[in-house]
Amino acid sequence: MDPCKYSATTLAETTERLAKDGAASSPNSGKDLENYGINCCSAYACTAKMMQPPMGCFAAHDSTPIVWPFQVYHRPQNASDAMTAIPAQLTTESLQPSEMPRPRWTLRIEAFVWRKLIGLGMFLHRLRSPRPLSHSFRRSIPATVSPRKGAINLLFYTPRDYPGRHGDNRASRYPVLVNFHGGGFTIGKASDDARWATAVVETVGAVVVSVDYRLAPQYPFPTAVEDGVDAILYLLQNAEKLSIDAHKIRVSGFSSGGNMAFTVPLRLQDEIRRRRERYNERQLTTGLPRSEGKVVVIMSWYPPTDFATNTREERRKTNIRPDKELPKYFTQLFDASYLYPPPYSISLSDPYLSPGIAPDDILRALPKDIIIYTCEWDGLRAETERLVGRLIRVPKKRVQYRMLIGVSHAWDKSPNPFKRNLAREHAYGEACIGLKRIFDKS
């Protein structure tokens, strides 16, 4: 029995759903989706041959991967200039919640309490054997992109032979993966993804930099995205000192961090362009990256991608197991904290918030290789699959997509220290193998 054999029923459902959104319009849409990597497999896939998974795990079952020709793309002056390309029904400018905004002080107290409780859960999460690596060292960097000044902590997870901790840059450059944790932009911290960082370090041999971006409600949209940009700019500025290959940055993220895996690379391009313009006009003398780096791979786990056209209730309706959905007290806290900070107003269709409905020109600016994992029992799955359909249709990205069957949102962050999460180990292992393939080719 093929350990990577996917559910035909689920694939058919996915094909039908994407076809309705215009993602699969050809008569052979099912075959097209298969060739594009639309595989809906169990989290237990590839367990029989973990180190040699079938090609179907990530691309076509054919041994020849699809390679799209390189396209030269010139960014608009800024992301907002391209917003006119969004259909009118998707442009929900300056939306505010229907009810009166909650006082900010109550949100801060609630977020503080949940951070402590979730922190305890993640402590238990890390206790289970085999224990994940602890970060090798940390760096605290100043926020320069956001107008809200402060500090951003970066946790470095490194291979055993890595010399860069002490500034020894004599060794060859290590590949680097920048990771963004989840938590609705409101809770969580960089060490939450220690198990993922461990898998990447041990399987890929890369340096993982996990970003402790600043959280809402104290730091609402777009602070998290701007902090992510600062993290990558720091790596570009200090690539030689850190012994990393900043010419090819890879990013990953979970949930809200999965959203940032899309939005940070877009915002990074704009920031570098702005700094170059200011430098050329002699308004800026420092801050330009020393390395001409760029983001070349995105790996996103169960991300929210559309805040403009989907309410929370509509998302719940798309979940075949609504009982597995995140509790309302969490989602209400997240949205009230990050999206509606009085006295500010925001556009929910902003590409730095809702990449799933960004114009095609903006999506073309994303890296060529994109790996996406969703959960079968997750209200965010439908909007992410719509984005997958768009990415393979118009920008023609090399998308490697998998829906993990029988799991819900954040299934890999279980706090139970007495039960080994084999599904997580298998999924992480498979994802790392996919990453390593791309690393080795680049």
Question: What string of DSSP letters covers 95-106?
Answer: B--SSPPPPHHH
pTM of the model: 0.78
pLDDT at residue number 124: 87
CA-closest candidate to residue 330, choices 409, 395, 426:
409
Task: Using the predicted structure, report yes or no on whether residue 90 has a pLDDT greater than 50.
Answer: no
> pLDDT for 321-336, tens place per residue?
999 999 999 999 999 9
Cis peptide before 222 (omega within 30 of 0): yes
64 CB-side CA count, 13 A? 2
Q: Angle 33-35-36 (CA atoms, 0-180°, nearest 5)?
A: 65
Q: Which fold is adopted by the domain 82-441?
A: Rossmann fold (3.40.50)
* Strands ordered across the beta sheet of 369-377: 38-39, 398-408, 369-377, 295-301, 244-254, 174-180, 207-212, 151-157, 137-142
Query: d(Cα 73, Cα 70) in Å, to the nearest integer?
Result: 9
> pLDDT for 388-420, tens place per residue?
999 999 888 999 999 999 999 999 998 888 888
> pLDDT for 125-168, tens place per residue?
888 878 999 999 999 999 999 999 999 999 999 999 998 665 56
pLDDT at residue number 55: 32
pLDDT at residue number 219: 96
